[in-house]
Amino acid sequence: MDPVMLDRLAIASTRLRVAGLREGDLSRPTVNAGWDVRILVAHLVGGCLLYAGVLRGETVDWATRDSQPVTDPLGQFDAAATELNEAIGKLDDRHRPVTIPAGDVPATVAIAIHATDMLVHGWDLAVATGQHRGLDPDLCASATAVISRFPASTWGNSKFYAERVPTDSTELTDRLVALTGRDPNAGR
């Protein structure tokens, strides 16, 4: 799948989970060690903003990714996603190298990595808040292809990429989340 389309669809998928947040959900724990839903939403918002920055050619501070104060989850998510989509739309060279935590990669690879991060964290959000946890099979297949191109050690952040969990499941959602170090049965 085209990385830009993958990113748009992953954002739309996760947006459904952000829109489904209820009173009190922001303090719920997630499958990400030490994170609650508020930090997870901050991570999603910050990710969109930082990826937009690198696609515009800016130097960004990745250490600030999770520091967005979350007061209006859906509004902030939508604004950040719009900023990212605008940056992608203005991208002059889709193969221009950009710097992300995994290193210097072509812009299209960065977009695909962002999409994968967005999709898997949408699952995290669904599990934490009791929402529908299934992900679109085509998106899962594309995200799995992105992740499979790199060893887990590439990412260096156990919040998203961790040691891969073996699974016998044939469900694409289960296989994707296991590939990113999650227990597909978490929260069931």
pLDDT of 61 over the 90 cut:
yes
Q: Express each pLDDT in 20-32 by its tens digit.
A: 999 899 999 999 8
Determine the residue type at 141.
A
- CA 127 – CA 107 distance, rounded (Å): 30
- pLDDT, mean over the chain: 91
3-134 to CATH, choices 1.10.3080.10, 1.20.120.450, 3.40.50.1110, 1.10.1270.20? 1.20.120.450
Q: What does the domain layout of the chain look like in residue ranges?
A: 3-134
Name the CA radius of gyration of the chain, rounded: 15
Determine the residue type at 47.
G
pTM of structure: 0.92
